[in-house]
Amino acid sequence: MSKDENSYICPVCGYDGLGEPPYNRDLSYPSYEICSCCGFEYGFDDQDQDYSFKEYRDKWIKDGMKWFNPSKKPDTLDYKKQFSNIEKAIFMANANIIQMIKQYRDLTISLEELSKVIDVNSFAPPDYSYSVIICKEHVINVLEKNKREEVSELDLARWAKFIMFSEWYDYCEENSELIPSVLAELEAPLLWSNYADGDCGELKEFMGKLSPEKADSYINALRNNTES
């Protein structure tokens, strides 16, 4: 809960004394305000320094949770209560988060862009679980993008993994078996030789398996509701 109706919550540390929202509704304009508690500057530490909220928070905690502006530090401080604000703050600060999840479904933004506002290695919060629907048309659209070389095979594999395991997405009822079957095949390169997502240098050696013909076989299977 913020201190008053004109205060906003830091999505990094849960401090509820920001003077303005950290970002505008579509996340395109950060405030560049610096949090008095953790010192995170919205628009600099994320966009220029490439920190996710979680990465910066972990570093701040490891460094002793020093206040950036000690004059703002309250006399009595309950970090457990403050940290409980974080999940709420993320979704207050990113009012259009569901729209971004939809944009990633369509691969109009990258996983790196999405990781600026959510922890892409964690499950969706319970209130948002399975809140975005994915149908065969969405998968076909992404496969067509790969055929046009707008997204790489690695992008596609990481996308398929996130769709299947993040718990943000639910499948259209009529495609609830076919879509995960196709996604599992698209994600397969991330499983070869137990390579973890992120080992992209070596992982690229295992790419090149998704030919235009293979992509077409997936597209036809989706369109005709048959196995690829």
Same domain, 210 and 107: yes
**CA distance linking residue 164 with residue 222, whole number of Å:** 17
Q: Write out pLDDT tens, residues 91-102.
A: 665 556 788 899
Regarding whether 116 and 220 lie in a shared domain, the answer is yes
Residue range 107-159, pLDDT digits in tens: 999 999 888 778 888 888 776 789 899 999 999 999 999 999 999 988 999 99
Residues 88, 106, single domain; the answer is no
Residues 109 and 22 in one domain: no
- Domain C-terminal end among 94, 123, 149: 94
| Enclosing H/E stretch for 200 | helix 200-203
Q: Who wins on pLDDT, 209 or 27?
A: 209
pLDDT over 80 at 25, yes or no: no
CA 193 – CA 198 distance, rounded (Å) = 14
Which tokens go with 57?
A: 């928070």
Give, in order, the Cα–Cα distances in Å from 185 to each of 87, 129, 203, 223: 33, 24, 16, 17
Q: In terms of domains, do 63 and 43 share one? A: yes
Indicate whether 82 and 113 sit together in one domain. no
Residue 37 phi, psi dihedral angles, 5° rounding: -85, -70
pTM: 0.60
Show the domain range for 47: 1-94
DSSP lists the bridge partners of residue 34 as: 41
Predicted confidence band at 1 (pLDDT cuts at 50, 70, 90)? Answer: very low
| 152: helix, strand or coil | coil
Could you tell me if 218 and 165 lie in one domain?
A: yes
pLDDT at residue 23, rounded to an integer: 78
Whether pLDDT at 228 is above 70: no
% of the chain surpassing 90 pLDDT: 52
Q: How confident is the model at residue 13 (pLDDT cuts 50, 70, 90)?
A: very high
Please tell me whether residues 106 and 89 are part of one structural domain: no
| Band of residue 2 on the pLDDT scale cut at 50, 70, 90 | very low
Q: 82-111 burial by CB neighbour count: b if 16+ within 10 A, else e? A: beebbebbbbbbbebbeebbbebbebebee
Identify whether the C-beta of residue 226 lies closer than 8 Å to the C-beta of residue 219.
no
In this structure, the answer to whether residues 87 and 109 fall within a common structural domain is no
88 and 102 in one domain? no
Are 12 and 23 spatial neighbours (Cβ–Cβ below 8 Å)? no
Average pLDDT over residues 47-69: 93
What is the rounded distance in angstroms from the CA atom of residue 151 to the CA atom of residue 139?
Answer: 13
Range with lowest mean pLDDT among 48-57, 162-171, 190-199: 190-199
Q: Looking at this protein, which amino acid is placed at residue 172? A: C
What would the mean pLDDT of 198-205 be, rounded to a whole number? 48
Question: What 8-state DSSP symbol labels residue 171?
Answer: E
Say whether both 102 and 64 belong to one domain.
Answer: no
Q: How many domains does the chain have?
A: 2
Boundary-marking domain end, from 75, 94, 113:
94
Look up residue 63 and give its two tokens: 């460094």
Closest of 178, 137, 171 to residue 186, by C-alpha: 178
Mean pLDDT of the chain: 84
Say how many C-beta atoms besides its own lie within 10 A of residue 193's C-beta.
10
Sign of the torsion formed by the C-alpha atoms of 167, 169, 171 and 173? positive
| CA atoms of 209 and 163, how far apart (whole Å) | 20
Q: Is 41 helix (H, G, I), strand (E, B) or coil?
A: strand
Q: Is the pLDDT score of 6 beyond 60?
A: no
**Boundary of a domain, candidates 94, 120, 146:** 94
Tokens 């997936």 found at: 218
